[in-house]
């Protein structure tokens, strides 16, 4: 993996709103960065904790020449950053203020050690594959989104099963009756897909996982397909709407005949990593036994 290079001495800070520790942390971090000659910009959500620092919308950060973005929050905040920054290829260093923290791996205790590592070129940058998804209705494209974790075709009405047809590279795979179906990246394989019984993929695997959620047939199992595949889910609910969500944060309804088309995005998300390895993270987060 390539090392993080500090060239512009310019850093942005993003944070999860309403975290009480941020009122102390944000000014301290900004002072630390400025004392080392960094220019600092913050997103609007962070501006409530520090006055006198330039603040802009998250979507505008992609237009800045930044060495990296320091993210203070949980994996959900990092997923939002992936959509905002993926197109610009700006690395993100995640500091975990949440509970699980598969992606935001740095703890508060190690915050300044992580900043030192970034300063000294001792942090690496890992490319994470993203999904590109469109929702099509006839000849019309209703929406187009990228997702770092997963695209989920679920249901609006909790009392009914969804009906889907699944195609891979224009080949019919199966008709499904299920609560939903998940198309996941390797990064997302430890998220909703894992909870639904899907396998764990290491981040470097060039594949996607298709995981049915509570399928009506016990023979419907998760599928692992190459990330060169085009995956199409066709909604077959005659009377009920479905709902398509992207990383559990954005979404919109889908109706009978809509086609949800997924492929690998042309953009990768750049995640700053320190010393911990993928299996170290799994052992810690999933409470696996140690030798």
pLDDT of amino acid 140: 97
Distance CA 131, CA 152 (A): 12
Strands 55-56 and 68-73: unpaired
Lowest mean pLDDT among 7-11, 25-29, 84-88, 120-124: 84-88
pLDDT of amino acid 159: 60
- Kindly indicate the confidence band of residue 127, based on its pLDDT and cuts at 50, 70 and 90: very high
The rounded radius of gyration (Å) of the Cα atoms in the chain is 20
Mean pLDDT for 26-51 is 94
Q: Identify the active-site residue in 43, 75, 247, 258.
A: 75
Closest CA to 67 of 1, 13, 4: 4
Per DSSP, the residues of the chain read -PBP---S-EEEEEE-TT-TTHHHHHHHHHHHHHHTT-EEEEETTTGGG-SSS-EE-GGGGGGS--SEEEEEE-HHHHHHHHHHHGGGT--EEEEE-SS--SS--B-GGGHHHHHHHHHTT--EEEEEEEEEEEEEETTEEEEEEEESSEEEEEES-TTS-EEEEEEETTEEEEEEEESEEEEE-TGGGGTHHHHTTPPP--TT--EEEEEEES-SSTT---EEEETT--EEEEE--SSS-EEEEETTTEEEEE-TT-EEEEEEEEEEEEEEE-S--HHHHHHHHTT----
Mean pLDDT for 238-260 is 91
- Kindly indicate the confidence band of residue 290, based on its pLDDT and cuts at 50, 70 and 90: low
Distance CA 262, CA 248 (A): 16
User: Are the C-beta atoms of residues 271 and 92 closer than 8 Å to each other?
Assistant: yes
43 labelled catalytic: no
pLDDT tens-digit readout, 177-211: 999 999 999 999 999 999 999 999 999 999 999 99
Question: Is 157's pLDDT higher than 70?
Answer: no
- Kindly indicate the confidence band of residue 84, based on its pLDDT and cuts at 50, 70 and 90: confident
Q: Exposure pattern of 206-239 as b/e (b: 16+ CB <10 Å)?
A: ebbbbbbbebeeeebebbbbebebebbbbbbbee
Distance CA 149, CA 27 (A): 31
Delineate the domains of the chain, giving CATH numbers in brackets: 10-123+274-285 (3.40.50.10330), 130-266 (2.60.200.30)
pLDDT of amino acid 10: 96
């Amino acid at each position: 993996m390539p090392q993080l290079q500090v060239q512009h001495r310019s850093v942005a800070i993003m944070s999860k709103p309403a975290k009480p520790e941020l009122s102390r942390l944000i000014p301290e971090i900004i002072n630390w960065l400025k004392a080392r000659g960094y220019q600092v910009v913050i997103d609007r959500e962070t501006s409530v904790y520090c006055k006198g620092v330039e603040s802009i919308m998250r979507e505008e950060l992609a237009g800045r020449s930044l060495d990296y973005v320091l993210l203070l929050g949980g994996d959900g905040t990092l997923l939002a950053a992936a959509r905002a920054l993926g197109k610009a290829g700006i690395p993100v260093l995640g500091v975990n203020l949440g509970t699980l923290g598969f992606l935001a791996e740095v703890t508060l205790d190690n915050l300044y050690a992580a900043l030192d590592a970034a300063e000294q070129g001792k942090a690496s940058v890992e490319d994470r594959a993203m999904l590109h998804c469109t929702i099509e209705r006839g000849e019309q494209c209703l929406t187009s989104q990228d997702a770092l974790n997963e695209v989920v075709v679920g249901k609006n009405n909790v009392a009914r099963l969804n009906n889907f047809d699944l195609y891979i590279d224009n080949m019919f795979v199966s008709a499904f009756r299920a609560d939903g179906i998940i198309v996941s990246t390797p990064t997302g394989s430890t998220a909703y897909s894992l909870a639904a019984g899907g396998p764990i993929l290491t981040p470097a695997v060039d594949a996607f996982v298709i995981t049915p959620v509570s399928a009506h047939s016990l023979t419907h199992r998760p599928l692992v397909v190459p990330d060169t595949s085009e995956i199409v889910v066709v909604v077959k609910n005659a009377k009920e709407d479905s709902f398509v969500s992207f990383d559990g944060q954005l979404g919109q309804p889908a109706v009978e005949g809509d086609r949800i088309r997924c492929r690998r995005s042309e953009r990768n998300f750049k995640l700053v990593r320190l010393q911990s390895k993928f299996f170290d993270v799994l052992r810690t987060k999933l409470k696996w036994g140690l030798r």
